[in-house]
Amino acid sequence: MGRIIDQIRASRLPSNLMQFAARGALQVPPAETIEILVYLARYNKAFGELARMTLAGWDEKASLGVVSDPTTPAEVLNYFISPDNLRPRLLSKLLENPSVREEQVVKLAGSALRDTLVIMLRSPRVKSLRSVVEALQSNPYLEEEEAQELAKAPALAPVPTEADSGQAAPVPEGADESETTVGVDDESVFSYLREHAGEIATEDGKPFQPIGGFVDMPGHESSPLAAAPPDEEKHAIEADRQEKRPPVHAPGQPAKRQNTVQKINGLDVKGRIQLALKGNKEERSILIRDGSKVVALAVLEAPKLSDIEVEKFASQKNVLEAVLRQIPLKRRFMKNYIVVRNLVANPRTPLDLSLGLMKNLLTQDLKNLSSNKEVSETIRKLAYKMYKQKQESANKK
C-alpha cells in the first residue's frame, strides 16, 4: 500500500480522514505526518488553515529531526524556512541542512528581523555562502560590529587563481587561449564549447536577438531598448551592437557603466555562452530568450541555475521551443511539480510534450487546465476528461 501523502495528492482520501490528517492524527511516521501537514497547509483550501495551526504547535523534537535531515523533501524545508512559518528554534538546523536551497536562505537574510539575524550570524554555512553574506550586509538590522565581523566571512575571501601560484591555467585541446577565463566553472564552459562546436560555428556572427522582443527591466532605464516600439527594436539592437567606440565622457569623470542588456549586446555567441554558464540570475533571465539555440540551452546547463528560475522559464512564452523541450530531459527539473505544471499550462509548449506530462497533474490543476483558454482545445478536453476520471475514482473510495 502506498503512502498516505500520495493518496492525499491524488484526492483519494475521504473527508473525515482528511480532517484527521490536518490535525496530525493519522497513524503514519512523524516525517510523513509533517509532509502531509505542509502539503495541506499549502494546497488545501478546506483544511489548510487547520494544518497550519497544527504545524505551528507541532512537537519541537520531531520537527528538529525533520528539518535537519538532508533527505527531507524540499517542499517541507521551504515551508519551514519561509519567513511566514519560521520557528526560531528550528532555524539553526535548517541553515546547516545542505538540502535547503541557497536562494531560500538569501531571501530570508534580506528580510530577517533582529532575532532571526542573530541566529544566522552564528551559522557556519551562512558565512560560507557569498550571496547570503551579501544579503545580510544589506539588512537594516545589522549592527556595525556585526558588519565588520561579517566582512571577514570565508565567503568573501578572494579566490586564489592560477596566477597567484605562478602557473598558467591549462588550455583545453582545441580551445583558443583568448576564450579562457579564470573561474571555478571554466571546465563546464570548455566542455560545452567543445560539445557544441559545430552549432557555434554555424551561429558565429549572429547578434543577440531576444525572442519576442524586449521590455525594460528594473534598474535598466538607460537601456537603448527601454520602451522601444516593436518596429524600432531591431534597429536599436543593431545600432548598439555595431557601436565599437568607447563611450565619451568628460575628463575626470568615470565612464558610464554598461547595463546588462548593453553588455550582452556586445558579446559574440561564445561570449554569451560563457555568460550563460557563469553569469548571475539576471543575465540568465535575459539569455534564456536568446534567438541562438546554442546560447539559450547553455542557460539550462548553468551550475548555479535554481529551481525557481526553471519554474519561471517553464511558463515563459518568449523562449525557443527547444528550451521547453530540453527542460523535461533534466531529471532534476522534473522532480519539481511546479515546473511540470507550468510546462503543461504554457501555450508555447509543444502539444506532444504537454500531453505526455498531463498524467502527472493533480486533480485541481487538471480542472484549472480544462478552462484555460490559452492552451489548445485538445489539452482542455483531455484535462477535463482526466479530471472527471480522478473525481469518479475518488468518489468510489
Tens-digit pLDDT profile for residues 142-155: 888 988 998 888 88
- Cα–Cα dist 208/258, whole Å: 16
Per-residue pLDDT at 395 exceeds 70: yes
Nearest residue to 392 via CA among 11, 1, 17, 21? 11
- Which residue did the predictor score with more confidence, 155 or 115? 115
Tell me the average pLDDT of the chain: 81
pLDDT at 158: 65
pLDDT at 188: 72
- Cα–Cα dist 294/270, whole Å: 9
pTM of the model: 0.48
In this structure, are residues 327 and 314 in contact, taking their beta carbons and an 8 Å threshold?
A: yes
177: confidence class by pLDDT, cuts 50, 70, 90: very low
172: confidence class by pLDDT, cuts 50, 70, 90: very low
The whole-number average pLDDT for the span 107-126 is: 89
- Cα–Cα dist 383/359, whole Å: 9
382: confidence class by pLDDT, cuts 50, 70, 90: very high
pLDDT at 317: 93
Nearest residue to 298 via CA among 317, 313, 278? 278
The whole-number average pLDDT for the span 362-387 is: 92
The three grid cell numbers given for residue 317, joined into one nine-digit string: 512564452
The whole-number average pLDDT for the span 242-256 is: 44
**Range with the poorest average pLDDT among 121-125, 131-135, 200-204, 229-233:** 229-233
Nearest residue to 363 via CA among 393, 319, 332? 393
In this structure, are residues 343 and 324 in contact, taking their beta carbons and an 8 Å threshold?
A: yes
Q: Supply the DSSP symbol for 290.
A: B
The whole-number average pLDDT for the span 365-370 is: 92
pLDDT at 308: 92
- Cα–Cα dist 265/268, whole Å: 8
The three grid cell numbers given for residue 258, joined into one nine-digit string: 554598461
- Cα Dmax for the chain: 81
Q: Supply the DSSP symbol for 319.
A: S
In this structure, are residues 363 and 10 in contact, taking their beta carbons and an 8 Å threshold?
A: yes
Per-residue pLDDT at 293 exceeds 80: yes
| Residues 5-56 pLDDT 10s | 888 888 888 888 999 999 999 988 888 999 999 999 988 989 999 999 999 8
Residue in this structure with the C-alpha cell 530577517, named with its chain if needed? 112
